[in-house]
Structure 1
Amino acid sequence: MLLRAVLMGAICVFAMEAAEAREILVADQTEYKAAVKSAKPGDSIVLRDGEWRDAQLVFTGTGTAEAPITLTAQTKGKVLLTGASNLRLGGRHLLVSGLVFKRGASPTREVISFRRDSKMLASNTRITEVVIDGFSKPDRRSEDIWVAIYGTDNRVDHSHFEGKTNSGVTLAVIRKPGDPLDNRHRIDHNYFGPRPPLGSNGGETIRIGTSEESLSDSHTVVERNIFDRTSGEVEIVSVKSGGNILRENLVLSSQGAFVLRHGNGNLVERNIFLGNHVPDSGGIRVINRDQVIRFNYLEGLAGKDFKSALTVMNGVPNSVINRYHQVSNALIERNSILDSARITLAAGADAERSAPPVESQFKGNLVSGAKNTDPFRAGDDIGGITFSGNVEAAVAQPLVTRGVEQRELQFERAANGLLYPTDPALAKVGAPRDLVPVKREEVGASWYRPDAAEADFGSGRTVELAAGASLADAVGASRAGDRLALAGGAYEVVSPVVVRHRLTIAGQAGAAPVVHVASGAFVRIEAGGGLRLADLTLDARGASADAALIAVAPEVAPNYEIEMKGVSVRGPGKAARLDGIVMAPGTFANAIELLGSSFSDMSGAVVLGTGEQEPKGWYPVERLEIGGSSFARVGLVADLLRKGTDESTFGPYFSMTGSNVSNSGAGGASLRLTGVQHSEILGNSFEKSAPLVVVHTVGKPHTRISGNAFRATPAPRIEELVYKGPLRAILAGNLTDGRP
């Protein structure tokens, strides 16, 4: 009877709560604050449709499992939080849905925080169908977290996160001393959309914990999310705690990997990685004890070393908590690693990381290397890994011969879109056939699709300009993607032209327009800008003061591009310093290309990328390509700098091919690359110039200098600032004054 009475009482309370639940429509922040203060279990606070600018919302309360307190939009997707907006949550059993953060950035270090302050955390709270799109601080060095999960038993699901361009994790589980560490959060069915390279550490999409508390368990589950081109840094998901599960996620064309960076006893299972041969696309990196990697499918991954399809790291003996603990008792079982460049074992071995994996198993895996090569590489002793029951597509000289059977394999795609061997005897080798890739319509906010991507170069109108027309007026009247087509003749620019969208300025077919740049300062690229120049001459011979031909303004975001093709630049010689492209600190270019162009009498650098001076791995451009161009009497072809020794990013990438450099060089170099990760300098001619200088600072840089001619020019100079072994550059087929 007593139990029945208790149950009846609970039912009555629930019925009363349901009956008394209110829907409170609010139109401004004053009404919102009053509604939060009065909200009871079951109530819904509804934000009126429209723009809520500079809305710093605090949502607190105590709901129940059956009757949470809800914050939602009048119409999903039509409440836009813009400007300096954010949301802080505190209490229990809260539910947030339908909001969009766009066209702004948080005034604090978090956009959505599962705590009001350090004393009031959120627990049993859910964020669902929420969008954060491009809500980035304009200076990429300014750090924030889009979703910071504190407390316990919280959930983030069916939400859309895209376009973070500044430093900081997209979604982080925060585990701090004094707060609950056994979090039990769930992160599921979200769309993590494109995140471009940050150009520094701090560009993870998800991080679970930090090294300080990593030896305790979080028990966070990350499942059935899509990670689409999430390429902020080498760690897409950074696990820094124990007992977590990464399950059934889909990773598409993303640079980086799922990294078990700190913490023990994590499970990574049934995930699907489709790299599409994107450079540095990776899979899973294993560190620490008792990690289980099973039933995953990895195809078309081009990454190597730390970004391999599978990486098993070397550790540091008696490692401190924030370095690399030795891999022990890892189980890597029944994964398919197909058409991929690398499986790297005992990776990162050096004088510090000298402890190879021990007591670990690699069994029942199916392997095929890219282009019929053997993907296995070993950086140290791999005797601590037991191989059994694995099958590899046959190669002539396999690295691992015991426990990895060489077979002639044939594959076919199953109904789930994945490759499986046609031989029925291999049904129990590699990833299982019941994998179901998560579909786009299953994740994110079903009602939200982002705005159309910014117009590509040349996708807009073509506006023809007669000789003598005002370029400044034409640029001011242009729209994204437009092409300004210049007729033959002269154009005058007396002050920098401001570009705020992607714009092409090019000579008309057969014309030879000359733009006279009186001050030497031609274009200033501001937020949203990008520039393509083609088939014209920039004459800055009259410049009498130091200037930058193309200056990238501070706080240019998102990532921009500059291309010069068939452009001739004439500078003032020693009368004034003229730099070509100058990048401000805090900005980042996806690509800069100089193709078929010529540069003369510029006492500065044609590309100057030395503004980032903090030793944290920042660098200004992901890819700098020079091809078929000439440089005469210039200070430097390029001066590109990445300081520090952080290993968490990919670039810069530099290539220079088929180009000529003569009578050039300043400060002891005609080309200076410092900290560049990938350098290809092929088939160029250097005459009467200072040497090209390459300084290695971090990671395992790839430098190839081949087929170049150096006449009255010293041989290339390679320097190693950290690495103590032999020089790591590949120099082949070069001639110095006619001698190899």
Structure 2
Amino acid sequence: MIYRSKWIGLNAVIMSLLMLVLFTTGCDTPSQSRATVANAEELKVKLALTNPGDTILLANGEWKDAELVIKAKGTAEAPIVVMAESLGGVTLTGQSNLKLAGEYVVISGLYFTNGYTPTAEVISFRIKKDDLANNCRITQTVIENYSNPERHDNDYWVGMYGKNNQFDHNALVGKGNRGVTMAVRLNTEESLDNNHLIDHNYFGPRENLGANGGETLRIGTSHYSLSYSNTQVINNYFDRCDGEHEIISNKSCGNLFKGNVFDECVGTLTFRHGNENIAESNAFFGNGKPHTGGIRVINEKQKVINNYGYGLTGHRFRGALVVMNGVPNSPINRYHPVKDSQINSNTFVNCDYVQLCAGSDAERSAVPQSTSISNNIFWNESKNDVFTAYDDISGISFDGNILSPNIKSLGAGFKAVDAKLVKDASGLYSLSDASVTAGITKEFAVVSKAAAGPSWYTKPVNGPTFGYGKQIEVAADQDLFKAIGEAKAGDVVLLADGEYLLEKKVAVNYPITIQSAGNAVIKFEKSNLFVIENGGSLKLKGITIDGVESPDYAGNAVVATSKYSMNRNYKLFIEDCTFRDLDVNHSFNILKVYKNTFADSIMITNSIFEDVSGTILELNQENDDIGIYNAEFVIMNNNSFKNIGKEVVNLHRGGSDESTFGPLLYIDHCTFDKVGFSVKNKGGKAFSLHGVQKTAITNSVFTDIKPFNIFHTVGEPITMISDCSIDRSKLEISDNTAELSKLNLSASAKGTDDEKIGYKQ
């Protein structure tokens, strides 16, 4: 069959057997020589003298600013091996990278950390465009937190070129800047029909980039998407890969994705471009985490068979199963219609959304054709409206699909059964009714977490952000600045009652909690009290922040982000706090952010804000309108805002890119009184929400405020305002994604000056 890789042939079997001996016994292959080198120059000299079967050991230790260029020619029976003296013993730091070319070369045991590549790739299976690697292998290697400090500077961590190469038992963890973590490149004839094997790797946590360009794995590009790659992606473990909504972006033909696990990954395995691809026997565990998805189908002759999804919550393009609409006569870089595809024998348990004809609009008007959805199980006892059909689904045939009794059926081809979920020893659910033959088969098998990645590497765990360190008690007559500076990640600085005056800005370089046991008041004399630097997060609890001693200048802020690019996301939590007298001059903000910074969550609860001359949350610095924004989740519960000079929230996401999820804003049980009346409030708004993807405002009271402006942009934004007291005339809702006449805005109760309204798009 066309997707089966030529790599799984005699040469691969021979190499695998040789490598098994090498890495399980500690011995190298039969060789003519074995030598140890201490730096890149010695390696270069030794490589010029190598013969098939030779082994070069890289001396353990730190190799700083080491640009390794490895070119050699081994044979299938006697590859040339370049390996660390002990696995993981060679640490490549600073401006280091690796370029590989030649034939039958094996590289093993390297560890890239504490730096970033000076070129476009950390590891490249080529030296120059016409000098490629073929039949080569990289194994037992780690790239961890090796990110360019400029968040939106683009690079890859691994670029695969040439043919018949293998990338296995490696770990790629913590990429923080823009660019695909790993890419299979098809940009020359020599790299087409490449038959690469990507197996048993651990793709570790990748934070939300808040922009396009955060894929974990991409195979091809739109320009080469109708060419065959024939790459196999088998038995890899994707752990919390949240960069953007395409975890894997398939952009070529003939690829196989089998036996992979996607553990709480935000996004989907996406057949974005290319035909004749297969997703078989993969597991997607969302466990209720927001935006987790399964498989998105676009293009022709795709197969989605024997996959398992559990607890997937993503909607629209990020559902458990998404079948897209296409563009008629689509250009190569848009959406080719779904045709002649099969979605069979899959199981989806407690998955919230199955989206058919997704993306239907004036451009994407070509509905799926000659496609079957059969013998699948869709089971969700807590949600009835699992299926959404956005357009004509007559081109999809349905047969033998099983539903939980509560799910609303799409019609013929679906049968509800009265059964119970049964969990097996591996944690997978099936139905208690033995007569049900739909869903995954007995042959279903995926990789374990332990079997993926290097044998020597300890995988990161998902620990708490705050409160896991020690507790540091500080009295009012002690040096608070010094105490915070000496704290470590996860520590809690506990303040006694009294006043604390800070004369310097406090740099937050790690997650830290500052908490009051009773009645602690902090005053400050600089333009900022706290500055969140790269790697920092801040939690304030039970503190009163008083601006009476702040400098008489415009533009102060209690909390600011770094002025420089941050390639790590931060959190800001404010709980049971009071902010007062922040009006010594105009534009005094609670939070001020800068470009190229990103909060994955900002949460304000049970707090009071009075007499603030500026904005509470100024999240509008990514104003180039290219799909980038400053915060993902903004949550405000049970707070009071009074005499706020500018906006409570100014949150901006512009442009037409659809590769991200947020921003998302939730406001509940809050009161707002006299908001937006500063003469410096040039926009004249109490709230400015531009391009927010989901807004939910409930149980809140708005009194004497400037207009509440909501502008919908890309995608299918959802705005819900319910059980709120607000003057309807203050709501300014505009939309460039649909005609406003199509929106549902209705009043559920009326008053003289305000209305209790419910609004939903």
What range is the shorter-chain TM-score in? over 0.9
Distance in 1 separating the partners of 2:453 and 2:186: 26
Which residue does the alignment assign to 2:9?
A: none
1:547 alignment counterpart = 556
Question: Do structure 1's residue 494 and structure 2's residue 503 form an aligned pair?
Answer: yes
1:522-533 matched pairs, under 5 angstroms: 522-533=529-540
Say whether the 8 Å CA contact 2:136–2:164 is kept in structure 1. yes
CA drift at 1:45: 1.9
- Establish whether residue 248 from structure 1 lines up as the match of residue 264 from structure 2: no
In structure 2, do the counterparts of structure 1 residues 37 and 371 end up closer, same or farther at CA, with 3 Å as the change threshold? same
Higher mean alpha-carbon deviation, 114-123 vs 24-33, is at 24-33
2:129 to 109, 115, 118: 118
- Alignment match, 1:187: 198
**Cα gap change, 1:200 to 1:727, in 2 (>3 Å):** farther
How far 1:446 moved relative to its partner? 1.3
Deviation of the 1:574 alpha carbon: 6.4
The answer to whether the aligner puts 1:275 opposite 2:286 as a matched pair is yes
- CA–CA distance in structure 1, aligned partners of residues 744 and 664 of structure 2: 15
Establish whether residue 706 from structure 1 lines up as the match of residue 722 from structure 2. yes
Could you report, residue by residue, the CA deviation over 1:682-736 in whole angstroms, capped at 9, with x for unpaired residues?
Answer: 111111111222111111112111111126x843221113434546576665767
Residue aligning to 1:715: 730
**1:628 equivalenced with 2:643 (yes/no):** no
Offset, 1:472: 1.8
Cα offset for 1:648? 1.0
The aligned residue for residue 463 of structure 1 is: 472
Match of residue 693 from structure 2: 677
**Conserved in 2, the CA contact under 8 Å of 1:218 and 1:242?**
yes
* TM-superposed deviation, 1:611: 1.3
Matched, 1:378 2:389: yes
Q: Deviation at 1:178? A: 4.3
Secondary structure, counterpart of 2:411 in structure 1: coil
Matched, 1:445 2:460: no
The equivalent residue for 1:3 is none
User: Could you list the per-position Cα deviations for residues 569-590 of structure 1 after superposition, in whole angstroms to 9, with x for gaps in the alignment?
Assistant: 2244262321111222112112
Q: Matched residue of 1:708: which SS? A: strand
Count of aligned positions = 720
Give the aligned partner of residue 415 of structure 2: 405
1:224-373 alignment runs, 5 A limit: 224-369=235-380, 371-373=382-384
Query: Is the contact made by 2:547 and 2:583 (CA closer than 8 Å) also made in structure 1?
Result: no
Q: Mark the CA change 1:54 to 1:331 in structure 2 (over 3 Å): closer, same or farther.
A: same
**How many Å separate the matches in 1 of 2:309 and 2:387?**
15
Q: Residue 603 of structure 1: CA displacement?
A: 2.3
1:21 CA drift (Å): 2.3
- Structure 2: give runs of 5+ residues left out of the alignment: 1-17, 19-27, 757-761
Output the CA distance in 1 between the equivalents of 2:490 and 2:617.
Answer: 24
Task: Please tell me whether residue 481 in structure 1 is matched to residue 490 in structure 2.
Answer: yes
1:131 alignment counterpart: 142
2:95 is matched with which residue? 84
Choose which of 160, 169, 180 in structure 2 pairs with 1:169: 180
Is the CA contact 1:704–1:730 (under 8 Å) kept in the aligned structure 2?
Answer: no
Query: Equivalent residue for 2:4?
Result: none
CA deviation profile, 1:672-691 (whole Å, cap 9, x unmatched): 11111121111111111112
8 A contact 2:163–2:190 mirrored in 1: no
Using the TM superposition, name which of 470-479 and 317-326 deviates more.
Answer: 470-479
Is residue 2:28 matched to residue 1:28? no
Given the superposition, is the C-alpha separation of residues 453 and 261 from structure 1 closer, same or farther in structure 2, using an over 3 Å criterion?
closer
Are 1:559 and 2:574 an aligned pair? no
Residue 57 (structure 1) shift: 1.1
**In structure 1, how many angstroms separate the alpha carbons of the residues matched to 2:432 and 2:730?**
54
Query: Which amino acid is 1:342 matched to?
Result: Y
Cα distance between partner residues in 1 of 2:463 and 2:280:
37
Distance 1:596 1:20, change over 3 A: closer
Per-residue CA deviation, residues 527-578 of structure 1 (Å, 9 max, x unaligned), is: 2211111112111134311222211102334221111112212244262321
Change (3 A) 1:47 1:164: same
Of all paired residues, the percent bearing the same amino acid is 39
Report the Cα distance in structure 2 between the residues aligned to 1:405 and 1:442, rounded to whole angstroms: 38
- Contact 1:233-1:649 at 8 Å conserved across structures: yes
Is residue 708–residue 733 contact of structure 1 (8 Å, CA) maintained in 2? no
Q: Structure 2: how far apart are the matches of 1:88 and 1:734?
A: 68
Q: Deviations over 1:482-540 (max 9, x none)?
A: 222222222112231112111111212x3x12211123410111122111111121111
For 1:35 and 1:339, locate their aligned partners in 2 and report how far apart those are by CA, in whole Å: 57
Amino acid at match of 1:487: A
* Alpha-carbon shift at residue 417 of structure 1 (Å): 2.7
Alpha-carbon offset, residue 649 of structure 1: 1.2
Contact 1:705 1:732 in 2 (8 A): no
Contact 2:281 2:446 in 1 (8 A): no
Q: What amino acid does structure 1 have at the position aligned with 2:725?
A: A
Q: Match for residue 582 of structure 1? A: 592
Instruction: Choose which of 571, 576, 580 in structure 2 pairs with 1:570.
Output: 580
- Higher deviation after alignment, 541-550 or 236-245: 541-550
State how far apart, in whole Å, the 2-side matches of 1:536 and 1:415 are. Answer: 48
- Residue 200 of structure 1 is aligned with which of 205, 211, 215? 211
- Which amino acid in 2 is paired with 1:448? Y
Task: For 2:629 and 2:191, locate their aligned partners in 1 and report how far apart those are by CA, in whole Å.
Answer: 37
Output the TM-score relative to the length of structure 1: 0.94
TM-score by length of 2: 0.91
Q: Give the distance between the partners of 1:38 and 1:520, measured in 2 at CA.
A: 62
RMSD (Å) for aligned C-alpha atoms:
2.0
Comparing 686-695 with 409-418, greater Cα deviation is found at 409-418
